[in-house]
């Protein structure tokens, strides 16, 4: 199948609101969303369907306002925001420009922990916790933050494929949390990220609907345990190792912390600082009323991913956002039963 790639053009290249391409034409906040035929609603955002890929280079913005000079200075409230939905980890969709990732993994992190019935080995060149007994567990070292954080999601990597027989092993993953001022020798708050999962299930944790994230985290520790029913084929040279080499299990865990968004703009001055091309237009010798800017925004959007721009300030009389992007189509193969 030939992949058809075109430069996004026409109205389809604009992030459009229900009122049209001018996001300032209606009441604010006004959200401009993907205007490409075929996009689907997912996760509260218009996202690309299977077989569609968008390679973005940036956004071309046209801004008009009678208070343009005033809006060059930082405002107390948001001017506009750009949100991107990306699959940061398998089955976990978040905005990479608004989250920091804390990763526990690698030989040093694993060796600092407390293992029972489990060993640290390099499997396919990656440090991995490998079971050497049917029942095993591992606790990480305690990691302290310079200031409290909030954990809004987690994802982890297992060495086993999701196609692995679910009966080969079960595992659980937990997070122990200490609050500010709490002694690390005291009993932490425990959160079950994965109470009892098989390798076939999604390897992500997010708060249940209506439940808050894990906030006010001053220090944390990862807990992992597994019950292995069948070893895996594993070729390694360990002259001092006795007994079975077991099954490769955990490779890393990632905790997501929300941070101030890189694409949250409080002034047009912030936009001009980030823009690669900009032009301020003056009309008839009076104060400037129009600004054009190109905001570099390299990103690749695929199935389930999307972008939207939300305008928050009603002093803008015109606001257009045009994508500089290439659109690729690769129709998926239709499987028809006989």
Mean per-residue pLDDT, 289-303: 94
Helix (H) or strand (E) holding 130: strand 126-131
Phi-psi category of residue 79: left, alpha or beta, with phi > 0 → left and psi -120 to 50 → alpha: alpha
Does the pLDDT of residue 96 top 80, yes or no? yes
Q: How far apart are CA 319 and CA 82, in angstroms?
A: 13
Q: pLDDT tens across 11-53, in order? A: 999 999 998 999 999 999 999 999 999 999 988 899 999 999 9
Q: pLDDT tens across 127-138, in order? A: 999 998 999 999
Mean per-residue pLDDT, 60-67: 94
User: In whole numbers, what is the pLDDT of the chain averaged over residues?
Assistant: 91
Does the pLDDT of residue 307 top 60, yes or no? yes
Q: How far apart are CA 6 and CA 4, in angstroms?
A: 7
Does the pLDDT of residue 241 top 70, yes or no? no
Q: pLDDT tens across 170-220, in order? A: 999 999 999 999 999 999 999 999 999 999 999 999 999 999 999 999 999
Q: How far apart are CA 34 and CA 28, in angstroms?
A: 18
What DSSP character marks residue 202? -
Does the pLDDT of residue 246 top 80, yes or no? no
Reported confidence tier of residue 338, pLDDT bands at 50, 70, 90: low
Residue 82 φ then ψ, to 5°: -120, 120
Report the DSSP pairing between strands 126-131 and 288-301.
Answer: unpaired
Q: Is 317 exposed, middle or buried (0-12, 13-18, 19+ CB in 10 A)?
A: middle
Q: Which domains does the chain carry?
A: 4-91+262-329 (no CATH), 99-258 (2.60.120)
pLDDT at residue 168 in the model: 87
Q: Which residues lie closer than 8 Å to 181 by C-beta, 6 or more apart?
A: 218
Does the pLDDT of residue 117 top 70, yes or no? yes
Q: Which two tokens stand for residue 315?
A: 């002093």
Q: How far apart are CA 139 and CA 158, in angstroms?
A: 16
Percent of the chain's residues with pLDDT above 90: 78
Q: Are 57 and 299 in contact, with CB atoms under 8 Å apart?
A: no
Q: Which two tokens stand for residue 278?
A: 């900009």
Q: Which residue has the tokens 């425990």?
A: 190
| pTM attached to this predicted model | 0.88
Reported confidence tier of residue 230, pLDDT bands at 50, 70, 90: low
Reported confidence tier of residue 332, pLDDT bands at 50, 70, 90: confident
Q: Which residue has the tokens 């009966």?
A: 167
336 vs 161 pLDDT, higher one: 161
């Amino acid at each position: 199948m030939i992949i058809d790639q075109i430069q996004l053009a026409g109205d389809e290249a604009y992030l459009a609101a229900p009122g049209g391409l001018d996001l300032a034409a209606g009441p604010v906040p006004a959200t401009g969303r993907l205007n490409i035929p075929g996009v689907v609603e997912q996760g509260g955002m218009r996202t690309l369907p299977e077989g569609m890929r968008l390679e973005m280079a940036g956004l071309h913005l046209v801004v008009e306002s009678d208070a343009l000079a005033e809006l060059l200075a930082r405002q107390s409230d948001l001017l506009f925001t750009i949100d991107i939905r990306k699959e940061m980890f398998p089955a976990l969709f978040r905005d990479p420009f608004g989250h920091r990732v804390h990763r526990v993994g690698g030989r040093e992190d694993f060796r600092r922990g407390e293992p029972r019935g489990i060993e640290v080995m390099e499997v396919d060149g990656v440090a991995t916790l490998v079971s050497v007994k049917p029942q095993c567990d591992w606790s990480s070292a305690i990691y302290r933050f310079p200031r409290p954080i909030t954990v809004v999601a987690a994802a982890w990597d297992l060495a086993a494929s999701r196609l692995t027989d679910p009966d080969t092993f079960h595992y659980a993953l937990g997070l122990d949390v200490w609050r500010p001022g709490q002694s690390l020798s005291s009993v932490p708050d425990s959160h079950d990220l994965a109470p009892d999962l098989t390798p076939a299930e999604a390897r992500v944790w997010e708060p249940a609907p209506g439940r808050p994230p894990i906030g006010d985290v001053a220090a944390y520790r990862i807990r992992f345990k597994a019950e292995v029913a069948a070893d895996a084929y594993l070729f390694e040279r360990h002259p001092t190792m006795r007994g079975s080499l077991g099954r490769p299990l955990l490779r890393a865990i990632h905790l997501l912390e929300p941070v101030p968004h890189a694409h949250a703009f409080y002034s047009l001055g912030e936009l001009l600082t980030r823009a690669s091309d900009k032009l301020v237009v003056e009309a008839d010798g009076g104060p400037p009323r129009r600004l054009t800017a190109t905001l570099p925004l390299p990103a690749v959007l695929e199935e389930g991913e999307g972008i939207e721009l939300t305008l928050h300030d009603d002093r803008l009389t015109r606001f257009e956002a045009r994508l500089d992007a290439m659109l690729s189509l690769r129709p998926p193969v239709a499987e028809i039963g006989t």
